[in-house]
Amino acid sequence: MLTFILAFRNLMGSGKRTWLNVSVLSLAFVVIIFYNGLLEGWNVQARTDTMAWETGNGRLSHPLFDQFDPFTLADSHGKTDEGLLTLLGKDASPVLITQATAYPNGRLFNVLLKGIDTRQTLLSVPVRLMDSLASAGEGGVIPAVIGDRMAKAAKLKAGDMMVVRWRDANGTFDAREVMIAEVFRTNVPSVDVSQVWIPLEYLREMTSMYGEATYITLSKEGVAKLNGAADDKLPASGELYKGWRYEDEDALMHEIDTVIKAKKGSSTVISMLLLCIALLAIFDTQILSIFRRQKEIGTYIALGMTRLKVVGIFTIEGTIHSVLAIALGTLWGMPLLKWIQHTGIPMPSNTDQAGLAIADKIVPVYSAGMLLATVLLVVISSLVVSYIPARKISKMKPTEALKGKLV
Amino acid sequence: MENNKIVLLEGVCKRFPAGKTEFTALSNISLSFGKGEFAGLVGPSGSGKTTLLNIIGSLDTPSEGTADVLGKRINLLSHKEAAQLRNYGIGFIFQTYNLLPVYSVYDNVEFALLLQKMSSEARKKAVMEALEWVGLTEKVKSRPSMLSGGECQRVAIARAIVKKPQLVLADEPSANLDSKNSHHIVQTMKRINKELGTTFIFSTHDEKVMQYLDRIIYLKDGMVDKDETVNK
């Protein structure tokens, strides 16, 4: 305790030098939290949106289905288990996918035709209008919904017609007109770019894949229902369940997690650079302190302090910089970070071309774990850079320190 | 160790490396100091006064010979034990005062007691008593930068005596002071020596200080040239 009191007194006595170091370190502290919060916010938003629009909380995929390889689509479809779908009810949504060519306004687009149950409520893809148009049986026209990226690329709008050509299960080409019932806005490019959503029953009929699907999306409750079943519980992710490959949330979010991890890497470099500048200031101050305060060190020892205790005083003096920086950073950074959280960070309109779910605005998320980790990082790193120069004191001769001779 | 001898030096030598050779600062010093002595080590610069004080103060160790201080053999003490000895048994007064610049007068004097596990009340009482001894109770809140040289040295004396050590070592305490202040601080120390029975060992070449000493040990080239008792 004495060491803390003495270190704090010395630090306060140093005045402006202390506050300069504390200010730089507090800036680093706030920026690290901001960067991490931004990435965490993006992560949360990307995961939430991807789950809402595309993956749900789990998926039973055809074993041959590979979402990154369109050539697998021809074979990756199979009959759905009606008993299973009945059990799951609204907690499951089968999707059938086939490759197709669309001809909007005389242009040619390779697209994925995705059949979705028009009564599903699990995914956010808007199906209500398709459902009413399909029920009305509008002259054999296929109602479709597309995302605004697809609409923009193909210059389509609601009410427009386009021809779509596909191959059925037997390899026979066929073509029909599709009417754009609705253009939706989503943050998830993988349900938008080059995708045309039509009613599942239509696609099954068009491809002669009656009662079939490429994958079945599961809600959280759906996963819980299957896990809670007395027998035939869901296996580990990647293993087969009733002939379908089960993928859990983590497996489905793997790509997002990887990208976020890579982004975190680059943001860590920036944060660390800033932290290093702040720590360098503390390191320099410590070196200067020990150099200038040799007589003081000698006096401490002459008055009966052990060298180890003097090392402790100087180490804690340096470390208190970080404690003050955290306090100062909380003082000015907290309102700023809160305000940013309230307003969000607007993202440029073409950011989502990267193929990842990015909202118009990213709202930073500051979790308790992240805050604690940042606090620990700042405190521990300042403790280390304070200790390294302070170690020299233990090798100092008190008689020479009292004379103020060089270390 | 003899009964009333608190410092006993036997054949003390101190050598420092000087390039490829060695410089002998002290050579075969055998001295003893009893309780309540007011003694001085006198000699020109380089005669070994400060080196000898450093050894007695357990800040340094002899290269040869033995030094027993307050019943502890300096040669054998660990860093921790030496610190303990200084903490409880020895007070230091330096030529350049060595006050802690960011502390007030009160804090500087209290510092010596903070290392001893003493209650804050007892600490306060002891600090005020020490400041009374040196006549600085009015300046408790002042920082060293606001004091004159004489006042700074009085704070240093208060810091040295506040823990009531048996031995106070004063290294050229009047070197940075004018005549009036020199007399004043030595008179203060003499008074403490008389009333508390504290042993004072000075290193000095100041005539003003010498006139108050009971015993003067002349050092020359690291050796005892003369050891004489005066005023008695």
Distance CA A382, CA A169 (A): 66
Minimal Cα–Cα distance from B82 to chain A, Å? 8
Kindly determine whether residue A2 and residue B112, on different chains, have CB atoms separated by under 8 Å.
no
Per-residue tokens: A56: 């749900």
CA atoms within 13 A on the CB side of B4: 7
State pLDDT tens for residues A132-188. 777 666 557 889 999 999 999 999 999 999 999 999 888 899 999 999 999 999 988
Residues of B in contact with A311 (CB under 8 A): none
Residue labelled with tokens 């050891």: B227
Kindly determine whether residue A9 and residue B92, on different chains, have CB atoms separated by under 8 Å.
no
Say if residues A363 and A374 touch (Cβ distance below 8 Å). Answer: no
| Alpha carbon A13 to chain centroid, angstroms | 45
Angle between helices A2-13 and B105-114 (to 10 degrees): 160
Same domain assignment for residues A95 and A174: yes
State pLDDT tens for residues B109-162. 999 898 888 899 999 999 999 999 899 999 999 999 999 999 999 999 999 999
Share of chain B above pLDDT 70, in %: 98
Return phi, psi of residue B153, to 5°: -70, -30
Minimal Cα–Cα distance from A376 to chain B, Å? 30
Report mean pLDDT in 10-residue bins for chain A, 407 residues: 79 80 88 88 88 93 90 90 87 95 90 93 90 68 91 92 91 91 90 93 93 94 84 82 91 86 82 84 85 90 91 91 93 94 79 62 89 92 92 87 71
CATH of B35-61+91-229, one of 3.30.9.10, 3.90.870.10, 3.40.50.2300, 3.40.50.300: 3.40.50.300
Same domain assignment for residues A186 and A95: yes
* 3-class secondary-structure state, position A139: coil
Per-residue confidence (pLDDT) for residue A9, from 0 to 100: 79
Same domain assignment for residues A36 and A77: no
Minimal Cα–Cα distance from B216 to chain A, Å? 24
Per-residue confidence (pLDDT) for residue A137, from 0 to 100: 60
Say if A242 falls within a structural domain.
Answer: no
Where among A198, A218, A238 does a domain terminate?
A218
Kindly determine whether residue A398 and residue B88, on different chains, have CB atoms separated by under 8 Å.
no
**Which of B208, B166, B217, B169 is CA-nearest to residue B185?**
B208
Say if A227 falls within a structural domain.
Answer: no
Tell which of B15, B59, B116, B166 to mutate to test the A interface (max A CBs under 10 Å).
B59
Domain hosting A142: range is 58-218
Per-residue confidence (pLDDT) for residue A217, from 0 to 100: 95
Say if residues B118 and B126 touch (Cβ distance below 8 Å). Answer: yes
Would the pLDDT of B191 be above 60? yes
Minimal Cα–Cα distance from A11 to chain B, Å? 9
CB-nearest to A10 from B84, B102, B114 is: B102
Same domain assignment for residues A175 and A323: no
Residues of A in contact with B92 (CB under 8 A): 299, 302-303
Per-residue tokens: B7: 């410092």
Say if A189 falls within a structural domain.
Answer: yes
Per-residue confidence (pLDDT) for residue A350, from 0 to 100: 60
Same domain assignment for residues A183 and A322: no
Same domain assignment for residues A276 and A355: yes
State pLDDT tens for residues B6-54. 999 999 999 998 888 999 999 999 999 999 999 999 999 889 999 999 9
State pLDDT tens for residues B16-28. 988 889 999 999 9
Per-residue confidence (pLDDT) for residue A407, from 0 to 100: 46
Residues 6+ apart with CB under 8 A from B68: B1, B7, B8, B9, B74
Indicate the pLDDT class of residue B224, thresholds 50, 70 and 90.
very high
Residues of A in contact with B59 (CB under 8 A): 301-302, 398-399, 402
| Confidence check on the interface: ipTM exceeds 0.85, yes or no | yes
Would the pLDDT of B1 be above 70? no
Q: Read off the pLDDT of each residue in B90-107 and give the average, rounded to a whole number.
A: 91
Kindly determine whether residue B80 and residue A306, on different chains, have CB atoms separated by under 8 Å.
yes
Kindly determine whether residue B98 and residue A299, on different chains, have CB atoms separated by under 8 Å.
yes
Same domain assignment for residues A11 and A37: yes
Say if residues A114 and A160 touch (Cβ distance below 8 Å). Answer: no
Per-residue confidence (pLDDT) for residue A71, from 0 to 100: 86
Considering its fold, how many domains does chain A have in total?
A: 2
Same domain assignment for residues A32 and A65: no
State pLDDT tens for residues A73-88. 888 999 998 888 888 8
Residue window 107-136, chain B: list those with CB within 8 Å of chain A: 107, 111-112, 114-115
Say if A148 falls within a structural domain.
Answer: yes
**C-alpha distance across the termini of chain A, in Å:** 28
Nearest chain A residue to B97 by CA: give it: A299
Same domain assignment for residues A62 and A193: yes
Kindly determine whether residue A302 and residue B59, on different chains, have CB atoms separated by under 8 Å.
yes
Where among A188, A218, A248 does a domain terminate?
A218
- Cβ of B218 under 8 Å from any chain A Cβ? no
Say if A231 falls within a structural domain.
Answer: no
Residues of A in contact with B159 (CB under 8 A): 303
- Cβ of B83 under 8 Å from any chain A Cβ? yes
Distance CA B113, CA B126 (A): 9
User: Where are chain B's structural domains?
Assistant: 35-61+91-229
Same domain assignment for residues A191 and A139: yes
Would the pLDDT of B218 be above 60? yes
Same domain assignment for residues A91 and A42: no
Residues of B in contact with A396 (CB under 8 A): none
Same domain assignment for residues A86 and A148: yes
